[in-house]
């Protein structure tokens, strides 16, 4: 009886450990951070060099490529309601290419699929929290806070 109980407890423990290890590795941090670097590098570059209405179309295309539809709806709702007084993705009033030099990402171990962006502009140091999910086989930004 004791051996059956011990075997059962070992089985339950191994299943729990396997599930927790699997949960810690999703989404793959390297791929998710790579996507975030691609997005923010392109996004900040377009904003910093923005000179024409065509640049707004490029920002929209970037957002569609790198963000979930749920996040796009959230951004639109905030814009329509007038509650947006800074850029949604950088939480700043404007952008410069110098932001790219200080940009760094890390895994946020306190949040499931959470990542943190750190960067500086001419005035402040900024910390942006992001959630990344896999959608249609690609990693996408699903929340910014």
Q: Give the integer Cα–Cα distance in Å for 68 and 49.
A: 25
Report the alpha-carbon distance of residue 64 to residue 87 in Å, rounded: 16
* Cα–Cα distance for residue pair 144/15, rounded to 1 Å: 33
Predicted confidence at residue 112, as pLDDT, reads 93
Q: How many residues does the chain have?
A: 145
Q: What is the pLDDT of residues 9-24, one digit of tens each?
A: 333 444 333 343 344 4
Hey, is 81 helix, strand or coil? helix
Better-scored residue on pLDDT, 98 or 5: 98
Q: How many angstroms separate the Cα of 106 from the Cα of each of 7, 71, 102, 116, 139? A: 39, 21, 13, 5, 16
pTM of the predicted model, to two decimals?
0.79
Which residue in this structure is represented by tokens 């949960």?
A: 23
Q: At 96, is the secondary structure helix, strand, or coil?
A: coil
Q: Where are the domains of the chain?
A: 28-144
Question: Is the pLDDT confidence value at 8 over 60?
Answer: no
pLDDT tens profile 111-133: 999 999 999 988 899 999 999 99
Q: Are 92 and 102 in contact (CB under 8 A)?
A: no
Instruction: Select from 79, 85, 80, 127 the least CA-distant residue to 103.
Output: 127
At 51 the pLDDT is 83
Regarding the domain delimited by 28-144, which CATH topology (the fold level of the hierarchy) does it fall under? Nuclear Transport Factor 2; Chain: A, (3.10.450)
Instruction: Give the whole-angstrom CA distance, residue 21 versus residue 15.
Output: 10
- DSSP 8-state assignment for residue 95: -
Contact between residue 46 and residue 59 where contact means Cβ atoms under 8 Å apart: yes
């Amino acid at each position: 009886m004791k051996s059956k109980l011990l075997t059962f407890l070992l089985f339950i423990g191994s299943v729990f450990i396997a599930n927790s290890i699997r949960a810690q590795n999703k989404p793959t941090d390297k791929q998710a951070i790579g996507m975030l670097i691609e997005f923010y590098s392109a996004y900040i570059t377009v904003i910093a060099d923005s000179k024409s209405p065509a640049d707004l179309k490029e920002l929209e295309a970037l957002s569609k490529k790198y963000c979930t539809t749920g996040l796009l709806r959230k951004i639109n709702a905030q814009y329509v309601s007038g509650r947006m007084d800074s850029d949604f993705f950088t939480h700043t009033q404007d952008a410069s290419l110098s932001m790219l030099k200080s940009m760094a990402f890390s895994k946020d171990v306190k949040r499931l699929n959470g990542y943190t962006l750190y960067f500086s502009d001419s005035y402040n140091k900024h910390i942006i929290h992001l959630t990344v999910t896999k959608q249609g086989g690609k990693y996408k930004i699903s929340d910014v806070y």
